[in-house]
Amino acid sequence: MINKFFLDISLLCKRLILLGLRRFFSSIFNIEIKKIKPPYENTEPLTLSYNFPLIGARISLEKKYGIIGYFYMIDGMNGYLHPFICALKMYHRTGNVSKVIEVLEDYSNNVSIKTANDSIGVNLKSLQAPTNAEDVFFPWIPFNKDALMKGNLAENLIHGYYSYETIATPPLSNKKIDVETKRLIDVYKSIKKNGYDIKKSIEADLLIRGDEYRWVIIHGHHRAAALEAIGEFDKIIVKIRNTIRIDEVKYWPEVQSGVFTIEEAMKAFCNVFDTIPPESNKKWLDRFKQE
């Protein structure tokens, strides 16, 4: 256990050093200009992969087409039910940190995500037994559990919490709720005071079905929740990570690997695109229907 602790700390230090070097050389030599395009205010999202094929293009997207937490529209429909948005809207109205904690505790007590079906709403026939939620992700993304777990650890260590625990698999420990509360409040206050820094822009995948699109947050859930709670933004500058077309389903990495069938992959896509939360969220959602 001790050796593992020092190994994880070493990996985190290496990651932070590399990030620091990247930012240093970017500022000196302006390297980032070659990699990440500046914002494209008037870019049509459906044409993005044809006009700007480089991964990392930043474009301005309407908030109403954004999806947070995989199954919640940021603006309208069921967006206010996402725990981050719900918590920060309460904070925005009251300025009371305890309200944020209450919402996260409530969510933790009413949602339990243990299996892949709990997480993405799909029973995978290729898997012999119910798979842990941490063992599978969306079929259009190459799954790397080791990288995922290290990312979870790095986020927690920044706040002094040595754990691989993630908000994506409630119920949550009290310590994790404290960490997420601090992260949400810090991001909210920063954006409220300084505005939205596009150099730290939200990262998303662009999902395309026919002539419709959605952008699904991969990194930046706290920032998106803060922007929605503050309520001063109709559009958000988003860094596009991948462009995913449903009619290319047979080429998706986890379909090619055999983890998903084509039918299962399409169901996972449509669950996200149409914001259909899995049964694991039902108890949480039903509470709002009763209010």
- The predicted pLDDT at position 2 comes to 52
Phi/psi class of residue 163: alpha, beta or left (left: φ > 0; alpha: ψ in -120 to 50)? beta
> Order of strands across the sheet with 202-209?
58-62, 235-245, 202-209, 212-219, 66-68, 72-73
32 has a pLDDT exceeding 50:
no
74-84: average pLDDT: 75
Same domain, 134 and 267: yes
Same domain, 31 and 98: no
30 has a pLDDT exceeding 50:
no
Same domain, 8 and 116: no
- How do residues 156-178 score in pLDDT, each as one tens digit? 999 999 999 999 899 999 999 99
Same domain, 193 and 229: yes
The answer for residues whose C-beta is within 8 angstroms of residue 191's C-beta and 6 or more apart is 223, 226, 227, 230
Going by pLDDT thresholds of 50, 70 and 90, the confidence category of residue 27 is: low
CA angle (9, 185, 203) in 5-degree steps: 65
Going by pLDDT thresholds of 50, 70 and 90, the confidence category of residue 126 is: confident
Same domain, 2 and 46: no
Same domain, 15 and 115: no
Same domain, 190 and 215: yes
35 has a pLDDT exceeding 50:
no
Answer with the residue of higher pLDDT: 217 or 38.
217
Burial call 138-162: b when 16+ CB within 10 Å, e when fewer: bbbeeeeeeebebebbebbeeeeee
Residue in the block written with tokens 């094929």:
53
- How do residues 177-197 score in pLDDT, each as one tens digit? 999 999 999 999 999 999 988
The answer for residues whose C-beta is within 8 angstroms of residue 124's C-beta and 6 or more apart is 116, 117, 131, 136, 259, 260, 264
Question: In the chain, what percentage of residues exceed pLDDT 90?
Answer: 47
C-alpha 175/C-alpha 181 separation (Å) is: 10
- The predicted pLDDT at position 72 comes to 87
Nearest to 121 by CA among 289, 270, 284: 270
Are 115 and 258 in contact, with CB atoms under 8 Å apart? no
Same domain, 119 and 61: yes
Most confident of 16-20, 91-95, 256-260: 91-95
C-alpha 102/C-alpha 83 separation (Å) is: 10
- The predicted pLDDT at position 287 comes to 74
Pair of tokens at residue 273: 């695109």
Most confident of 23-37, 89-103, 120-134: 89-103
Same domain, 230 and 110: yes
Answer with the residue of higher pLDDT: 60 or 27.
60
Range name among 35-39, 58-62, 73-77, 118-122 with the lowest pLDDT average? 35-39
Nearest to 232 by CA among 63, 87, 78, 80: 63
Residue 4, helix vs strand vs coil? helix
In DSSP terms, which residues pair with 215 in a beta bridge? 66, 206
Same domain, 62 and 31: no
C-alpha 59/C-alpha 235 separation (Å) is: 10
The total of structural domains in the chain comes to 2
Q: What is the DSSP string of 203-267?
A: EEEEEEETTEEEEEEEE-HHHHHHHHHHT--SEEEEEEEEEEEGGGGGGSHHHHTTSS-HHHHHH
In DSSP terms, which residues pair with 236 in a beta bridge? 61
Q: What is the mean pLDDT of the chain?
A: 83
Q: Could you tell me the residue range of the domain that residue 87 belongs to?
A: 36-290
Same domain, 107 and 15: no
Same domain, 1 and 144: no
